[in-house]
Amino acid sequence: MTQSLADMRRDYTRDGLAEDQAPAEPFSLFEQWFAEAVKTEQAPVEANAMTLATVDGEGRPHCRVLLLKGLDARGFTFFTNYRSAKGQHLLDNPFAAMTFFWPALERQVRIEGRVEKVTAKESDDYYQVRPLGSRLGAWASPQSQVIADRQVLQALLEATTARFADSQPHCPEHWGGYRLLPERIEFWQGRASRLHDRLNYRLIAGHWQRERLAP
């Protein structure tokens, strides 16, 4: 390693986050920050990329990067294979956390809450707007299962392509969406000298309460 990790540091001086800049509920602030991230972040950063954390049946945490595919007043939606590792984790423990990091804006958002499956119609509606290759891949890939090599996956894709040669693939029952219903959303804005701004929203008895956390 050419540079010591202890010497890798950056001072955050772009912006601040004061209470008078923040609404009483978190969704409009997230939408504002997300829109700014879409305009500001450059490739290879994807503004809708997030780290999703789940916990398995033995209490061990697991993280991976996914793409946010839906947001409304109910929560944050992503799609996956229900038989995947994350699908099994959510079956055993239906709670998750997600983190968005937008380095150009020196911002991150942390979200925690219960996770539920979206309706079959919501899953099908999104499935039908995906590229054909992605729709075929949802059928072909035994996600998270051990396979011998890349050729196995290629053979599965070829078989799936042949299966749907004369028809459009429909949404598999084992594939669809999850919605994280937030109970906590924290907005983090980098500041100088590591004295970052952290505004935390907690859902209590159906109402959002806002508080400032020390960095």
Reported as a single tens digit per residue, the pLDDT across 35-74 is: 999 999 988 889 999 999 999 999 999 999 999 999 999 9
As a CATH number, domain 10-130+173-212 is 2.30.110.10
Catalytically active residues are 194
69 is in an annotated binding site: yes
Write down the domain spans for the chain.
10-130+173-212
Q: 176 is written with which tokens?
A: 């669809």
9 is in an annotated binding site: yes
Reported as a single tens digit per residue, the pLDDT across 91-137 is: 999 999 999 999 999 999 999 999 999 999 999 999 999 999 999 99
86 is in an annotated binding site: yes
Asked whether the beta carbons of 53 and 46 are under 8 A apart, the reply is no
| Strand extents, DSSP E, the chain | 49-55, 61-67, 70-72, 75-81, 95-102, 107-117, 175-189, 197-204, 207-212
